[in-house]
Structure formats: C-alpha cells, structure tokens
Amino acid sequence: MYSNLTLLQMAKKSMDWAARRQEVLAENVANADTPNFRPNDIKKLDFKSELTGTQPTAQPVVTNPQHVGNVAFTKEPDVKRIRQPYEAEPDGNAVVLEEQMQKVGETRQAYELATTLFTKNMKMLRTALGKGG
C-alpha cells in the first residue's frame, strides 16, 4: 500500500543512496594508506530526472500558474561509481581524508533528512487514517 506513494519512494531511494555512498566512502578512508589507491564516489541522486515520466493515478488540477504540475517516479536512480583526480602522494595514493570526511558528513545529513521526511509522512498518513500521529 505505502510502496505506491511517491514521496515515500523518494525518501527510500535517498536513504538507499546514502547508505551505499557511506560504504564507498568508508572503503576510501580504509584505503588511505594503500599505495596507488584512487578514491571512488557514487553519482549524486538526481531527483529532477526521477520526477519525469509517468502520470500519477490522481490527476491534480492546476488552477494557478505557480502550482506544481504532475510528477511521479519512473525508474531506479542511475548509480555509478565515478573517479575524480586528486593530488596523489608519492606512493600513488590519492585519498584526501579531509575531503572524504566532508563527504561522509554531507551523506549523513542527506540520510537524516530522508528519514525525517519518511517519519513525518508516515505520521501524517496515520493521522489521516485516524490511527493517531
């Protein structure tokens, strides 16, 4: 029942992306002393491309030009590992711990935002169903 709700799908995809990115960043940090290791990253989740395509089941009526039009998820996000050139140390290792820790912090914030949105929407649905919020 809840799997058809676009906002909950978006929150889940965002949490999945953040969890996968944390794994990749943890691997980068773990290999900070490995010779010739190049850090990896995950392609940023692009919600704009996710919100194009199929029509939602309920068709909203746009009565004002400032209203949001019809939007819905169409596919799984295209997640790819990308490599960015960093300044390498003499042993060829290109991991910059400060950059990795900054990315870890950004990813944690994205995950917390997604979980907050998910929780608030579940409370709203419970209230709408008369089950308390």
Residue 133 lies in a domain: no
Q: Mind listing the pLDDT tens digit for each residue in 76-100?
A: 444 444 445 556 677 778 888 899 9
Q: Residue 41 in 3-state DSSP?
A: strand
Q: Mind listing the pLDDT tens digit for each residue in 8-59?
A: 888 888 999 999 999 999 999 999 989 988 888 888 877 666 556 544 555 5
Residue 28 lies in a domain: yes
Residue 56 lies in a domain: yes
Residue 50 lies in a domain: yes
Domain that holds residue 82: 2-128
Q: Domains in the chain: how many in total?
A: 1
Residue type, 17: W
DSSP 37-62: ---EEEPPP-HHHHTSSSPPSS----
